[in-house]
Amino acid sequence: MKTAFILEDTPESQVWLSEVLRQSFPAIHIQSANTIEQALALLPTLPAQDIALIDLSLPDGSGVSVIEWFNRHSLHTICVVASIFDDDNHIFPALRAGAHGYLLKDQPQAAIVQALNGIVTGQPPLSPAIARKLLRHFHEPLPELHAQALLTEREKEVLSIIAKGMTMVETANMLGLKRNTIAGYVKEIYRKLNVSSRAEAAISAQKMGLI
């Protein structure tokens, strides 16, 4: 590893991550940014980076967008999330965007160094808590599949339409039904999916493959 990029808005954490990288790869050259805007402006001007440590919670958005940039423009860069967040809403979007690892910043520095050293031998840099969460995720039955089995064919049809942004009136017109009928279907869909908004319903529809 000769070049590294750090995306981190907290100066103390930026210094801490730089120390971690230098302990892992003593000759490494480090560039850094503290906002997404700064990162996306700087990265095209730099030589290809071997590794990137990316925080997810930045003042101007999610670091996932920078992971996506690397995935489009620098596929060989090893993108590793360095975050304090260990919930599904942070982990899975980052991994889907192309992150190669996920490290929690509340670990001892020595543990982070060990995880990064493992990259050389092909070990994915994952904090133990993240690895356990991933294993649990793939061993648990998917709630969306269970919910899909509960929906009627008409409810699936309504869900697929409203998930695309159609209003109830537009959905009613498309299906030749009354608005109140569609409202009843939507209420039942929300109950079965255990959601409370159109956005959540759209996510469920996407997971079910309905859109």
Quick one: three-class SS letters along 59-108?
Answer: CCEECHHHHHHHHHHCCCCEEEEEECCCCHHHHHHHHHHCCCEEEECCCC
- Domain boundary, last residue among 84, 112, 139: 139
User: Is 74 domain-assigned?
Assistant: yes
Range of the domain at 167: 153-208
- Domain boundary, last residue among 111, 139, 167: 139
User: Is 96 domain-assigned?
Assistant: yes
User: Is 39 domain-assigned?
Assistant: yes
The number of domains in the chain is 2
pTM, 2 dp: 0.66
3-state secondary structure of 203: helix
Residues 23 and 103 in one domain: yes
Query: Tens digit of pLDDT for each residue in 93-144?
Result: 999 899 999 999 999 999 999 999 999 788 889 998 888 888 876 665 545 5
pLDDT confidence of 40, banded at 50, 70, 90? very high
The torsion angles phi and psi of 35, rounded to 5 degrees, stand at: -140, 160
For residue 192, the domain's CATH number is 1.10.10.10
